[in-house]
Amino acid sequence: MPLLSVLDLSPVTAEATPAQAVRETLEVARAAERLGYHRFWVAEHHNIKALGSPNPEILIAAISQITSRIRLGSGGVMLVNYSPLKVAETFMELEALAPGRIDLGLGRALGADARTGGALRSVGSEAFPKYLSLLQAWLLDASGKEEIGEDHPLHGIHASPAGPSHPDLFMLCSSAESAAFAAQAGIGMVFAEFIARTDGDAAVAAYRRAFQPSAFRTEPWAALALIAFAAESDEAAWRLDAPRRAGNVAMLEGRRQRFPDVAEAQAYLADRSASPVLQMVEARTIAGSQMTVLGALAEKTRASGADELFVMATGPTLADRIRSLELLAPDA
């Protein structure tokens, strides 16, 4: 098995409120460190009722104070929503709080619908290459690796706080084309299988072919992020995973709907038993006993050649999510 890490979206489970979902993420982070996972990343989503956190940097700061070993990062910050200087300063400050433990994972999308993106004053994904270049320059300058030269338009503007190190830099991808872009930028790549709804094998291969060493990384590094839920048996896992599958089917059918009750979710899925959408969702589901899920993860690693896997445990309660991570844990 490769390195195992956790990506948590602060899901609003059962009867929890979004505020409770954010607090539950802290408990999942504590468990991830206790269980020996390598990284714990949190995400940015706006105006989505089923997900609680729009601010990964605030969660990372909080988690940095209740953990001591596990790497912490964003999966990811939607760069085009913000000033690159502000992102550089935010993550240099996180690096100061937890030296050597901070990852900055970036996304090209908005993390929201277009109307919400407008409210955020997003400049749109077409600005990502320019914003990434600016961000890289400020991080390297702030860490003392590469000073911004006098001929650079940023000369004289420095990201604070300066320090001896900067966060490790990654890009979240959902296609082979975006993976190749990350490779040419010389940064790490995480392929979001749970978003792309396709295997990441081609993206990992494209990334490795196109990789160019940089000040951020001399060797390629590629990971997959996927949903994997384990319980005491295949039957129990499939039952407890019903709210997630039902929510996915509803979303693909054009509705955003939460299913806080397992029985309600099972009834919804039963009504759509012949639906091609449900068949597609279930074909891509990784849920089962410890042996079943670990076997599926090992096969993912073999087929893709990924260096690391991020797992998302999305059970209907906090206890279910933590139990899944216990069953899949590197130290189990």
Output the six-digit token pair for 246. Answer: 């039902």
Phi–psi pair at 151, nearest 5 degrees: -85, 0
The 10s digit of each residue's pLDDT in 262-304 is 999 999 999 998 899 999 999 999 999 999 999 999 999 999 9
DSSP code at position 149: P
Please report, as a single letter, which amino acid is at residue 227: I
- Residue 115, pLDDT > 90, answer no
**Mean pLDDT within 71-91:** 95
Q: Give the pLDDT confidence score for residue 313 in this predicted structure.
A: 78
> What distances in angstroms separate CA 36 from CA 3, 62, 67, 327, one per listed residue?
10, 19, 12, 12
Mean pLDDT, to the nearest integer, of 99-109? 94
- Taking alpha carbons only, the member of 241, 225, 249, 114 closest to residue 174 is 225
Work out the burial of residue 149: count CB atoms within 10 Å of its CB; fewer than 13 is exposed, 13-18 middle, 19 or more buried: exposed
Q: What is the mean pLDDT of the chain?
A: 93
Name residues whose C-beta falls within 8 Å of residue 198's C-beta, 6 or more positions apart in sequence: none
Q: Which two tokens stand for residue 227?
A: 């949903």
| Predicted local distance difference test score (pLDDT) of residue 332 | 63
Helical H segments across the chain, by residue range: 18-34, 56-64, 84-97, 114-119, 128-142, 176-185, 193-196, 201-210, 234-240, 242-252, 262-271, 276-283, 290-304, 318-328
Query: By C-alpha distance, which of 156, 126, 122, 125 is closest to 138?
Result: 156
> 4-30: per-residue pLDDT in tens?
999 999 988 877 889 999 999 999 999
Domains of the chain: 3-233+290-328 (3.20.20.30), 242-284 (no CATH)
So what's the pLDDT on residue 45?
86
pLDDT 10s digits, 192-239: 998 888 899 999 999 999 999 999 999 999 999 999 999 999 999 999
